[in-house]
Homo-oligomer: A and B are copies of this chain.
């Protein structure tokens, strides 16, 4: 765009890093979109620990409703983070695992964690959700 964009530290040398407005093809937006929604990062955290059935996820996150869990899992499947696997046998069981790409969210969540844990507590933080 301008020569101000050349050689700056910590920003990728990729034309997508120079977009002048929000774009769904921006890699940062793709990742934030995959993580969006209440509970999403907690579900990914559970699946980073080990794979789960639907009911095991409900047990690990007891305040999460079936509807929201199903919605978040469908979003994570669409975002190529989660794989849904039917297990053979009866009763029918589905296991949820992270895809290899989903597993690569580990360091991303770590980076998000590290920055947030170093955020000084403001004098009066309004509780927002």
Residues of A within 8 A of B (CB): 4-5, 8-12, 14, 16-17, 19-22, 24, 26-35, 38-39, 41-42, 45, 48-50, 60-64, 78-80, 101, 104-120, 122, 125, 127-129
Number of copies: 2
Cross-chain contact A27 with B112 (CB below 8 angstroms)? yes
Given known A-B contacts A11-B49, A49-B4, A113-B12, A119 and B27 have beta carbons under 8 A apart: yes
Cross-chain contact B38 with A22 (CB below 8 angstroms)? yes
Determine which of B9, B14, B104, B109 lies in contact with A118 in the assembled complex, contact meaning CB atoms within 8 Å: B104
> What are 15 residue pairs bridging A and B, where the CB atoms are less than 8 Å apart in the complex?
A5-B49, A10-B109, A11-B106, A11-B110, A12-B110, A14-B117, A24-B125, A24-B128, A28-B112, A30-B115, A30-B117, A31-B113, A34-B116, A104-B118, A105-B115
The distance in angstroms between the C-alpha atoms of A33 and B16, with both chains bound, is 23
Given known A-B contacts A63-B21, A128-B33, A115 and B122 have beta carbons under 8 A apart: no
